[in-house]
Each structure stands twice: as C-alpha cells, then as structure tokens.
Amino acid sequence: MPASLSSPSASAASAGCGASRCGGTASQIDALDSPLRQKVQDHPCYSAEAHRHFARMHVAVAPACNIQCNYCNRKYDCSNESRPGVVSEVLSPEQAVHKVLAVAAAIPQMSVLGIAGPGDALANAERSFAVFDALARRAPDLRLCLSTNGLMLPAYVERIVAARIDHVTITINCLDPDIGARIYPWIFWNHRRIHGREAARILVAQQQLGLEMLVARGVLVKVNSVMIPGINDAHLPEVSRVVRAKGAFLHNVMPLISDPAHGTAFGLAGQRGPDAAELAALQDACEGGASMMRHCQQCRADAVGMLGEDRGAEFTLEKIAHLQIDEAAAMQRRVALRAQINAGPGGTGAAEASAAVLPFARAATPPARGVRMAVASRDGRHVDQHFGHAERFHILEVDGEGVRWLGERAAARYCGGEAECGEQDNLLARTVATLADCEVVLCARIGMAPWQALESAGIRPDGEHAMEPVAAAAQAVWHALRDAGRLTAAPFEDQKRA
Amino acid sequence: MALAITEDCVRCWACLPLCPNEAISAGAAGFDIDPQRCTECVGDFAAPQCGEICPAEGALVDAWGHALNPPGSLGGAPVAAAAPAPGPRPGC
C-alpha cells in the first residue's frame, strides 16, 4: 500500500504518486513502502515504465450495469470506459478463468488481470468475485484489479480486501450533483430506479465513501474522469484536488468519445468531446491534484496483451476451449521473467525499480520556480546516454518538492552513423526544436556542435551527472540553479520571449 | 400475470441476477422470462426489478403489451449544445 495512504508520517495532503519512471529524491524513494512499489512496478496501467514490459488482460464477465451514463450506449458496450464496439464475448466466470490461464501461459509478460465491464464489475459482483477468487488460488502471482462506477463500492470494500484485489479504478466525473444530473440520467439503488439530481447525489456520495474506505484499507485507488466540455471540464480540477486529498493515487482524465454513430445520449445530442489541446490543458490544470496519467489507451473491456495492442483474437473461446495448461510451469515462467525485467539492464532491483512511482509532496509555498528538464536515459533510471544517441528524451518538471515525469519525446536521432552525416545539421536542429521548452538537458556526454546548438537555443546542456540516478541528478541541478539565484526570475518561457 | 422481454432487449444481463424468482434466462436467441415463474415481483419488491434496472426502453412489457419503460422515459437529461464547428475528434 502506498506510504502516503497508510503511513502515519505522510499526511493525506501529500498523497498522490506519479506514473513516472523518474522523480523524487533518494529519500523520497526510500520513504515509499515497498508494497506500493511492488504493486505498481509491473502494472502497465499505473507505471509508465511497466507498460513497455508487462501485459494485462480484461475479461468481459461483467455485462450488467446499475447506472446509466449519457456517454454510454448499453447496446454496444461502454464507449468511454472501454473502447467502442461490442465486447466480442461475454464470458461465464469459468470461461474467464480458463481464458486468463491460457493467456498467462502463452504471454509470460502477463501481470495484471482486470475486470472492467462491459458493464460494472460490482453490478455483477458474484460473477466478478468468482473469477478473482479462482485466480487467487490458481495464479496467485497475477495482480487483480477492477473498475467500477462506485455505486456499490462501499458494500463490497471488505470483499475486495478479502479477495486481495490491490487496485481499484473508480470513474468519478463530478462531486456536484447538479453537474452529475447532466451526466447520469438514472441509477438503480435499493431496488428502485432513481432519476435526476437525487440519483447523482447518491452516486457521488457512494463514490466518495468508497474511495475513503478503500484508501483506509490500503487498496490502491485510481480515479478516471471523462472530460465533457461545457459540463464537467471546469469542475474536474476540483475533483482532482479532492480525490487526491482523500488518497487517490492517480487521476486519469479521458476525453469524451461521442460519435453519434455510437448512439449515446451525448452523441445524439451533439455533445462534443474535447480536442487534444483542451484535454492537455485540463490535465495540466489537474496536475496539482492527483498525479496525472497520460499514457492511458482507453482499452476495451476484453483487451489482451501489452498496453496499446490487443491480442484478444488469438484467444477466443473456440481457440482455447481444449487447451491443456500447465499452470505451475506457466507461473514459474512469469515470475522469472518479471524478476528479470525488474532487475533491468544494470538495475539493482526493487529500490531502483521503485523510481517508477513517487510520492509528490507539495509544500504550501514553492520556494523557487520549477524547471523543465530533458534527460537522455536508456534505462529510464540513470543519466546513461550520449545526447547524440538518444532516441527519446524523458521530460521532467523539477522543483523543490520533487520531480514529476511529464512524458517522453522522440528525438530526431542525429548521430546515426556515416550514412546519415549529410543530415546531421538538419537532425540536430530538429532535436533542439523538440526540446525548446526545456531549460536543461541532462545527458551522459555531448559533443561540441550539439552543445553550442542547445546553448544558442537558450537550453543548458549538462553532462556533469553521467550515470547518476535521474531523479537525484535532476534535483541536484535544480538545487544548483536555485542556489545560484537563477530560479527567482520570471518563468523560463517568459524569459525566452523577452 | 407475467412480464415479457421484447426484441428491444440489449442483452446486458442486468435483470437476470435481480429476479427473485429466477424466471429470467439467457438463451441463444435472447433473454426470456418464464411466465410460470414471473410474479412481477409482487410480494418481494415495490416494483418489478427487471423493469427498474433495464436500460432499454420498450424491452419489457406486461401482459397487456404495455412497456414498463416507454419511449422517452429513460432518456438523458438535456445536454450541452454542440460545438459550432466540431471537426474530427481524436478517438472517434
């Protein structure tokens, strides 16, 4: 469980961790409970590092839902919590268990089994828990997670804990019932259908209570929100702030999908979704709250494989029906592979891998402004790459409170060998342009030409921290800049404009 | 006295576990209510449970063919106006 959720030394206000491979000082990393590291380091949805190495699958055993959302057409599956299109097969719990074991035998990267619909996992509680309970016995190395609208969450918290489900995602689109009334036309509650504002009031209350109860029991909670322009977009920063204060570990703001062809109430009414810029701006506005997740792929409720791929077609019921599975051998392969990945190239085990997630404590008044940095790192943990060899840069926001990983940016690879020499100037200029909003570039080594190009662009190259852990290096650079009095001036962007 | 499921059923399964009489079954052709078992929830609940949770208007009818959830009864609340010029949206 996260330190920030369970440790008395961490206040609720400091809760929230980044889905980042970089960040935080060594002491911050040490302060993390190792169970939290273990919970996220091989979960592709929670750790930006893990999503390259580990696979997940969803099993569609939960067709029923107990609320109606205006962004969902029940005829076709939920278009926002799982991507458009009918779930290929609604599985019985027995079929689902067999499918999970078959996939986990064929894909040793399988680390996570989730139940995310196509309805609501807890509106189908008996079916969902039948799968979880069987897998806890037969594939105890798999992490279990579920996704819910939260309506029935308080009633099932104890069962979730007993089933050793360590990640729960709650879709929370609002705190204000008046806003909720525009998103949820009705809920099914206490054997009755309830409409309008009262429905939204009950749903919001159950979601918030469920969040609090899960955090109190040490279950990792991610919050999903669907961004609906004109309805909840201005409200979501407040949602982010509140769920973070209550201990949510990640906040994932997703764009409304409202193609009229999906037949949702929003789609038919012409409610638009946000464009990429609006979504990014809202995610930025929410950054002060729960750490934002930016690699979400809005997977289907029956997705199989690495994030962003779907190998579901390889594992249809027909294809796996008569498959004989050596469950013990399959588990051994998974455990061995996981150990190998977590050790990493040159990695030193759990402590290094833990850099994947960090608490991001916030002081009341930032002592100096933050600095955006780009880091050339091959293993994602150390400043271990030559500037010219970097195919991508990790972008960090560093300030006195910690380090946040903002994402990755592909570089134009300018040092590609003799054959590309004629292209070098052009490629270098393109790479520098890619990093224009960064103030510092950390790398293991850098040649004269790129050094000068970066400096001319107002970017400070730094090769002084070669092979050091990324977070520690970034913090050291930030402290040096602050001590030199360079972080009291206007933000970098304003300086550049001036 | 029994309810029936029409072809407007979206096969979402929501009703099935709620029936106090286990009258609902999921067949190859769709969901069915066993008229011998259905009591319309009289004595168990204030309203038929299938009708209370069903998301599809017109999918459940009583013995006279009247829809428990007639057209328009389950629709969403008024939603925000469309954007002036919605272009192609990411993810759609």
Best B19, B44, B49, B53 member to test A by mutation, with max A CBs in 10 Å, is: B53
Task: Answer whether residue A401 is part of any domain.
Answer: yes
Q: Indicate if A159 and A40 belong to the same structural domain.
A: yes
Element (H or E) spanning A173, and its range?
none
What is the distance between the alpha carbons of residues A225 and A70, in angstroms, rounded to a whole number?
14
A contacts of B91 (beta carbons < 8 Å): 255, 257, 273, 298
Q: What DSSP assignment string belongs to A351-414?
A: HHHGGGEEE----SS-SS--EEEEE--SSSSB---BGGG-SEEEEEEEETTEEEEEEEEEPP--
Q: Indicate if A384 and A274 belong to the same structural domain.
A: no
CA distance A75 to chain B (A): 5
Of A193, A228, A255, the CB nearest to B52: A193
Residue with the two structure tokens 């209350």: A205
Q: Indicate if A487 and A371 belong to the same structural domain.
A: yes
A-B contacts (CB, under 8 Å): 107
Q: Does B13 touch chain A (CB under 8 A)?
A: yes
Q: Indicate if A87 and A196 belong to the same structural domain.
A: yes
Range of the domain at B20: 1-73
A153 residue type, one letter: L
Task: Answer whether residue B90 is part of any domain.
Answer: no
Task: Answer whether residue A310 is part of any domain.
Answer: yes
Indicate which CATH number applies to the domain containing A175: 3.20.20.70
Report which DSSP code applies to A319. H
Question: Using one digit for the tens of pLDDT, what is the confidence trace for B32-62?
Answer: 999 999 999 999 999 999 999 999 999 999 9
Question: Using one digit for the tens of pLDDT, what is the confidence trace for A73-87?
Answer: 877 554 454 443 345
Element (H or E) spanning B5, and its range?
strand B4-5
Task: Answer whether residue B6 is part of any domain.
Answer: yes
Q: Indicate if A295 and A393 belong to the same structural domain.
A: no
Q: Indicate if A313 and A390 belong to the same structural domain.
A: no
Domain count, chain A: 2
**Looking at residue A19, what is its pLDDT?**
29
Q: Does B91 touch chain A (CB under 8 A)?
A: yes
Q: Does A35 touch chain B (CB under 8 A)?
A: no
Asked if residue B75 lies in contact with residue A211, where contact means CB atoms within 8 angstroms, the answer is no
Question: Using one digit for the tens of pLDDT, what is the confidence trace for A484-498?
Answer: 888 876 666 555 544
Report which DSSP code applies to A103. H
Range of the domain at A391: 363-497
Structure tokens at A350: 């759990």
What is the pLDDT confidence band of residue A449, given thresholds at 50, 70 and 90? confident
Chain A residue with the nearest C-alpha to that of B10: A75
Task: Answer whether residue A111 is part of any domain.
Answer: yes
Q: Does B7 touch chain A (CB under 8 A)?
A: no
> ipTM of the predicted structure?
0.83
Residue with the two structure tokens 């409200």: A235
What is the distance between the alpha carbons of residues A6 and A289, in angstroms, rounded to a whole number?
18
> Where among A262, A288, A320 does a domain terminate?
A320
CA distance A395 to chain B (A): 23
Of A64, A273, A276, the CB nearest to B12: A64
Strand partners, A398: A371, A403
Structure tokens at A45: 């949805």
What is the distance between the alpha carbons of residues A477 and A475, in angstroms, rounded to a whole number?
5
What is the pLDDT confidence band of residue A413, given thresholds at 50, 70 and 90? low
A contacts of B90 (beta carbons < 8 Å): 255, 273, 275-276
Domain count, chain B: 1
What is the pLDDT confidence band of residue A45, given thresholds at 50, 70 and 90? low
Task: Answer whether residue A14 is part of any domain.
Answer: yes
Q: Does A182 touch chain B (CB under 8 A)?
A: yes
With CA atoms as reference, report the closest residue to B16 among A81, A85, A87, A65. Answer: A65
> Where among A269, A299, A320 does a domain terminate?
A320
Residue, of A426 and A448, whose pLDDT is higher: A448
Of B13, B78, B92, the CB nearest to A63: B13
Task: Answer whether residue B91 is part of any domain.
Answer: no
Indicate which CATH number applies to the domain containing B9: 3.30.70.20
CA distance A116 to chain B (A): 14
Task: Answer whether residue B65 is part of any domain.
Answer: yes
Task: Answer whether residue B54 is part of any domain.
Answer: yes
